[in-house]
Amino acid sequence: METKLVTLKRVQIACQGVALLGVLVGLGAIVCMVWELTDFFMLQGRLYTMLPEEQLAVLSEEASELPEEVIVPAIVGAVALLGSLLTGLSALVMTCIPCRKTDCD
């Protein structure tokens, strides 16, 4: 019985899978961030009924909770997209490495 070790082809496939997963998580986090920013700036339609002077006061009151609702998804999205970039680049580099017949099976 012959056991197969980790081959270059399997590592490439794993890197591409992690890159795809990172892109999906990153895009989901960025969509969440944009959703929260939209809620913040629209304030459920209340801003359209106010004068510009009143809008500034309401926005400054609501801005206290903005960092945890917007910055956390932005950081998660940036880390996920950076990880997918690195794993995608490593998969690209591995495709350029010449391999022996036994390593690529």
Contacts of 71 (CB under 8 A, 6+ apart): none
The pLDDT value given to residue 104: 55
Q: What pLDDT is recorded for position 20?
A: 92
Digitized pLDDT (tens) for each residue of the chain, 105 residues in all: 456 677 778 888 888 899 999 999 999 999 988 888 887 777 656 666 777 777 777 777 777 767 777 888 889 999 999 999 999 898 888 888 776 655 555
Render 10-73 in DSSP notation, one character per residue.
HHHHHHHHHHHHHHHHHHHHHHHHHHHHHHHHHGGGTGGGS-HHHHHHHHHHHGGGHIIIIIHH
Query: Comparing C-alpha atoms, which of 32, 28, 12 is closest to residue 81?
Result: 28
Predicted TM-score (pTM) of the model is 0.69
Q: Strand, helix or coil at 6?
A: coil
